[in-house]
Structure 1
Amino acid sequence: MRLFETRPGDDGLPGPERTLAVLALVTGTLMAVVDTTMINLALPTIAADLNVSASRAVWITNLFQVVCAAFLLVFAGISELVTRRRLYLFGLSTFVIAAMGAALSRNLETLLVFRALQGLGAAATLSIGPSLYRAIFPSRLLGSALGLSALVVAGGYAAGPTLSGVILSFADWPWLFALNVPLGVCSLWLAKRALPQEQPRQGSFDVAGALLSIVMLASFFIAMDAVSHAAPVWQSSGWTLLAVLACVGFVHRQRRAPYPLLPLSVFAEKRFTLAVSASGLAFIGQGLTFVALSFFYQEQMGFSPLETAWLFTPWPLAIMLVGPLAGRLADRVNPSVLSSTGLVLLIIGLIALALVDESTGVVGSLWRTALCGIGFGLFQPPNNREMMGSLPPERSSNVSGVMSTTRTVGQSFGVALVGAALALGAPVQVTLWLGAATTLMALVASLSRVSLARRALVARRASSGVE
Structure 2
Amino acid sequence: MLQEVKIAKPASPPMDGLPPESRIWAVVAISVAVGMASLDTAIANIALPTIAADLKVSPADVVWVVNAYQIALVATLLPLGALGEIVGHRRIYLGGLLLFTIASLGCACAWSLPTLLIARVLQGLGASGLMAVNSALIRFVYPSRLLGRGFGYNAMAVSTAFTLGPTIASGILSLGTWPWLFAVNIPFGLLAMAIGMRTLPLTPRAEHGFDFLGAILASLCLGLVILGVGSAAHRAELGLVSAELVLGLVLGIVLIRRHADHPAPMLPIDLFRRPMFALSAVTSVCSFAIQGIAFVSLPFYFEDILLRSQVETGFFMTPWPLVVAIMAPVAGRLSDRYPVGLLGGVGLVLLGIGMTLLATLPTSPSILNIVWRMAICGLGFGFFQTPNLRAIMSSAPPGRSGGASGIVATARLTGQTIGAALTAFCFVLAGREGATYALALGAGFAAVGSVMSFLRLTIPATKP
**Normalising to structure 2: TM-score of the pair?**
0.94
Q: Displacement of 1:357 after TM fit?
A: 4.2
1:377 matched to 2:382: yes
From 18, 21, 25, the equivalent of 2:26 is 21
Between the aligned partners of 1:347 and 1:440, the Cα distance in structure 2 is 6
Letter in 2 for 1:449: R
* Cα distance change, pair 357–45 in 1 and its aligned pair in 2 (3 A): farther
Q: CA shift at 1:311, angstroms?
A: 0.8
Tell me what 1:451 maps to: 458
Residue 393 of structure 1 is matched in structure 2 by: 398
RMSD: 1.5
Is the Cα contact below 8 Å between 1:298 and 1:304 reproduced in 2? yes
Write the deviation string for residues 388-438 of structure 1: whole angstroms up to 9, x where unpaired: 112221121111011110011011000000111211235221111111111
Residue in structure 2 matching 1:139, options 136, 140, 144: 144
Query: Residue 450 of structure 2 aligns to which amino acid in structure 1?
Result: L
C-alpha deviation, 1:307, in angstroms: 2.5
Runs of 4+ in structure 1 displaced over 6 angstroms? none
Q: Which residue number in structure 1 is paired with residue 17 of structure 2?
A: 12
Q: Give 2:235's aligned amino acid.
A: A
Query: Aligned runs of 1:375-454 on 2, under 5 Å?
Result: 375-425=380-430, 427=433, 428-453=435-460
- Tell me the equivalent position of 1:279: 284
Identical amino acids, percent of aligned pairs: 39
C-alpha change, 1:263 and 1:57, in structure 2 (3 Å) is: closer
SS at match of 1:128: helix
**1:224: Cα distance to partner?**
1.4
Q: CA deviation at 1:302?
A: 2.3
The aligned counterpart of 1:5 is none
Cα distance in 1 for residues equivalent to 2:18 and 2:304: 51
In the alignment, what sits opposite 1:464?
none
Aligned equivalent of 1:81: 86
Q: Distance in 2 between matches of 1:368 and 1:252?
A: 46
Matches within 5 A, 1:198-209: 198-209=203-214
Q: CA deviation at 1:233?
A: 1.6
Residue 194 of structure 2 aligns with an amino acid whose one-letter code is W
Q: Show CA shifts across 1:34-61 (max 9, x none).
A: 0110110011011101111111111101
Matching of residues 267-416 of structure 1 within 5 Å: 267-416=272-421
What is the CA–CA distance in structure 2 between the aligned matches of 1:259 and 1:374, rounded to whole Å? Answer: 36
Q: CA deviation at 1:252?
A: 1.4
Aligned mate of 1:222, from 218, 221, 227? 227
Shift of 1:444: 1.0
Instruction: Name the residue aligned to 1:260.
Output: 265
Which residue number corresponds to residue 249 of structure 2?
244
CA distance in 1, matches of 2:422, 2:62: 22
Determine which of 164, 171, 177 is the counterpart of 1:159. Answer: 164
Contact 1:208–1:253 under 8 Å retained in 2? no
Shift of residue 199 of structure 1? Answer: 4.6
Distance 2:241 2:439 in 1: 23
Counterpart residue number, 1:33:
38
Question: Which range moves more in the overlay, 12-21 or 243-252?
Answer: 243-252
Which residue of the partner structure matches residue 116 of structure 1?
121
Aligned residue in 2 for 1:49: 54
After TM superposition, the structure 1 stretch with the greater mean CA deviation from structure 2, 421-430 or 210-219, is 421-430
Measured against aligned partners, the alpha-carbon deviations of 1:125-163 in whole angstroms (never above 9, x if no partner) come to 101101100110100000000111110110011010010
Q: Aligned partner of 1:297: which letter?
A: F
Shift of 1:304: 3.1
Aligned residues: 447
Distance 1:199 1:413 in 2: 35
Aligned to 1:6: none
Greater CA drift, 254-263 or 13-22: 254-263
Corresponding residue SS for 1:52:
coil
Report how far residue 285 of structure 1 moved: 1.2
Contact kept? 1:206, 1:257, Cα under 8 Å = no
Contact residue 151 and residue 386 of structure 2 kept, 8 A: yes
When structure 1 is superposed on structure 2, of 409-418 and 251-260 the one drifting more is 251-260
Q: Distance in 2 between matches of 1:357 and 1:254?
A: 53
Letter in 1 for 2:255: F
Q: Which amino acid aligns with 1:443?
A: S
Cα offset, 1:203, TM superposition: 2.2
For residues 356 and 291 of structure 2, the distance between their equivalents in structure 1, rounded to whole angstroms, comes to: 13
The one-letter amino acid paired with 1:398 is: G
Structure 2, unmatched stretches of 5+, are 1-13
Counterpart code for 1:435: G
For 1:437 and 1:150, locate their aligned partners in 2 and report how far apart those are by CA, in whole Å.
Answer: 24
Cα deviation digits, residues 199-240 of structure 1 (max 9, x gap): 532222122221111111111111111111122222212211
